[in-house]
Structure 1
Amino acid sequence: MSEEAANTKMLPVLPLKNTVLFPYLVMPLSVGRSHSLAAVQAALGTEDKEIVLVAQKDPSVELPGQSDLYSVGTRGVIRKMARPNENLMEVLVMGTERVTLLNVVHENGYLQGTWEALPLPEDKNSEVEALHSSIVDLATRAIELAQPQAPSEMSKILASSEDPLRLV
């Protein structure tokens, strides 16, 4: 997809209460509000199953508009879906990239928005490298404590990751 097409592509928008999805993370979500169910259904009806997930400023707002949402969210892909009943949907979403919502409208019973991809930070200064090293060390220690019998390859995989965003 060209960058210009991404800037004007309309995707369903799923407002999140008290949570944030980051790129490269996989998160289970319970969806129950009617407009949120409609947004997920719309995304599932497409080949790419893409949706924009953005946190609400005030989780008590039941039908948020653009002013009720943060302007930065995450474009994601719905990987799995289960529907225990007609009023609830369980989805597994993988974040793909940070986006800025340019415009949000309420059409067809759900929020839709145009978006623009945000560039990844390119800082490779000593502070970022030190934080990256600390994350790898702490994750390795956590694996050792939780799973003493875990193969040492897990630590090697962590240490070989050069992208700090993928370690979050």
Structure 2
Amino acid sequence: MESDDIDPLASFDQDEQRSTQDNEEHLTIPDVLPVLPLKDTVVYPFSVQPLGVGQERSIRLIDDVMRGDRLVVLVAQKSAAVEQAGPDEIFRIGTVARVGRMFRMPDGTLQIAVQGLERVVIGEFTQEKPYLMAHVALQPDTQEEDNETEAIKRNVVGYFQRMVALVQTMPEHFAAAALNLEESRQVVYVIATFVPMELELRQNLLELDSVREKLLQLSTYLT
């Protein structure tokens, strides 16, 4: 299963930031959750993204999720050429997300808005049909709080601001959103959502445990 049409740039404002942070502070998840593979896309914690859902099994997954707690694990598949990715064709680090809105289109496909909550590691799969379900566990980042990490964060925000100023197709409010973020991991994930990157880089950023290492990788990429 997969997401078909994806807008790579998410909207993110202060209200969404506070809502996501509040959710994370009290976040508990079931031991088993549905897993939705995505083509060429990595959804991060703190991001709010629109996704298009077109495959029959993916539509069934979302319909079932909307009748329950609205939680789903979003994970990139290793190759976009695979039409229905199975357990061996997806990465094992993804993001648990909440489906906020769903619109059913005239052609039967879905448009959904998802809010990334936290990293998860995907364990043993409990089913493959009608859609994937697996044991999952929260995998929070390691957050360093020191002067070095703070300095790297400021550099990353500065690089991103300059990038927004140079790229005319990137709205200026993206830079403003980054400036208003306090936690280093928020800076990492929100900026990474906005910046065009290859799938391998996006997934590697998600899989790194250290927030400082994530900031360093972003800094290297932006310069």
Which whole-Å CA distance do the structure 2 matches of 1:165 and 1:81 have between them? Answer: 28
Normalising to structure 1: TM-score of the pair?
0.79
Which whole-Å CA distance do the structure 1 matches of 2:180 and 2:35 have between them? Answer: 35
In structure 1, the residue matched to 2:219 is none
Residue identity matched to 2:33: L
Normalising to structure 2: TM-score of the pair?
0.61
- Kindly provide the CA deviation profile for residues 41-67 of structure 1, in whole angstroms up to 9, marking residues without a partner as x: 111110x21000000011222222211
In structure 2, the residue matched to 1:21 is 43
Give the counterpart of 1:163 among 159, 164, 183.
Answer: 183
Which whole-Å CA distance do the structure 1 matches of 2:181 and 2:73 have between them? Answer: 27
Q: Does 1:75 align with 2:96?
A: yes
In structure 2, the residue matched to 1:118 is 139
TM-fit CA distance, 1:134: 1.7
State the percentage of identical aligned residues: 30
Which has more radius of gyration? Answer: 1
Task: Give the 3-state SS of the residue equivalent to 1:80 in structure 2.
Answer: strand
- Kindly provide the CA deviation profile for residues 59-90 of structure 1, in whole angstroms up to 9, marking residues without a partner as x: 22222221111000000000111111353100
In structure 1, the residue matched to 2:115 is 94
Which whole-Å CA distance do the structure 2 matches of 1:86 and 1:114 have between them? Answer: 33
TM-fit CA distance, 1:120: 1.6
Contact 1:35/1:111 (8 A) holds in 2: no
- Kindly provide the CA deviation profile for residues 21-48 of structure 1, in whole angstroms up to 9, marking residues without a partner as x: 00000010001111111111111110x2
TM-fit CA distance, 1:117: 0.4
Where is the helix percentage greater, Structure 1 or Structure 2? 2
Q: CA RMSD in A?
A: 2.8
Task: Give the 3-state SS of the residue equivalent to 2:64 in structure 1.
Answer: helix
Which whole-Å CA distance do the structure 2 matches of 1:160 and 1:86 have between them? Answer: 39
Where is the strand percentage greater, Structure 1 or Structure 2? 1
Residue segments in structure 1 that go unaligned for 5+ positions in a row: none
Residue segments in structure 2 that go unaligned for 5+ positions in a row: 1-27, 191-223
Which whole-Å CA distance do the structure 2 matches of 1:93 and 1:66 have between them? Answer: 22
